[in-house]
A and B are shown apart, each in its own frame.
Chain A
């Protein structure tokens, strides 16, 4: 699944056909695909939502992904947390992304609403970044929230939900839409498992039982500063996306093939 070669750029002017969208697997059964850019200008960027409870490592994951992709992908980031400038400042300070590619969005004390019920402010910001930088990947980091937080698929193509072992090994069993419906569940801080008495085997079993075959990644972002399993998952999506575009004849064939 993981590509080691740089993902080649393809024609930004092509239209997406969501009926053939390879990323549709994680959606709620019976619902149609994303509508956020329906009828709007075609885009090529993959939009990835990152949600999860406060302190689980969302900003750290964004930081790791920026580091992982810095050399070969165009990136942009939207942060939604309270004191959003602080998150943006963390990314800037780490030097993983130029300041102008990071935008902070206010959520009026309702981080849920801003990613699900009324995505106007986030969508507007994502589109501005896409218009200006034409990135390969846009990361939308939700404000820290509870287990019921999910993104609208009109805002993002896929969503990652980040929890950590210090919240207890029963969190995956508790479920909630963030746990059960996210396209990738990330369990962070595995290095702390022993210290907090969390059983990773239990977490893996419960996650598998509740997630209908969707993947779960166990990481310690402190020890894995490029979030390798998550980066590999995203590279796989980008490769699938490029391949689907090629198959539909909607993209210019990149040199070297997809």
Chain B
């Protein structure tokens, strides 16, 4: 699947130990636990599937589109990475209605950029770091990092969805006292969904960027805003 290599880099970026700030985020799981939408393994599975098909698809398609766009910039247009990154960052911005989500997306984007800059140094990561004063959106940063690490669009989409899946699962495990083996089995059972949505995202990434997927989960967005205002939260999102 990784025709252009980058498989080992993909593993590094998929590893929860890669120091890009993700461990303080719950992907909305803390908010869902607090307001009773998440009560145990069954609702966690449903929550994860819902996220994969909504914001998971949106983020993965943006990430894959960055990889596709950067390759085209280089091969066809002969220009630097700035144009693709700017356009897709604006598309990402337009897909996040809630201010706290935009803010944490840029925060995660700049943290990922920092962690990756020393791993795959080069003009792409310099350009993405300079994209916005608050940092690039996370999906755009991930696409730029994937490109710099030699990871193709489909694998980049899969990487994005892997984090969409594992972030709330890991947080629910910590917060809810769940069985870690059961959570691992749940993640494995959803691997086909990750593959399916990744293919959809990679397909969308080859089309016009203003037709990239635009889906939200209204409850999770409302909950994210309420969560950001809580004083007793343990996760940033």
Contact = CB atoms under 8 A, between A and B. Distances in A.
Contacts of A114: 23-24
Given A117-B19, A120-B19, A106 B235 contact: yes
Interface of A: 82-83, 85-86, 105-110, 113-114, 117-121, 123-124
A118 B23 contact: yes
A85 B230 CA distance: 9
A132 to B, nearest CB: 13
Q: Looking at chain B, what size class is its interface with the partner chain?
A: 20 to 34
A109 B234 contact: yes
Contacts of B95: none
B23 A124 contact: no
B234 A124 contact: no
The A interface is mostly helix, strand or loop, or mixed, namely: loop
B21 A118 contact: yes
Given A83-B232, A106-B233, A120 B26 contact: no
Interface of B: 17, 19-26, 107, 110-111, 114-115, 171, 174-175, 231-236
Contacts of B234: 82, 106-109
Given A108-B171, A119-B19, 10 more contacts: A106-B24, A106-B233, A106-B235, A108-B23, A108-B26, A109-B174, A109-B234, A109-B235, A118-B20, A120-B115
A167 B9 CA distance: 46
A107 B26 CA distance: 11
A119 B24 CA distance: 10
B133 to A, nearest CB: 10
A121 B135 CA distance: 14
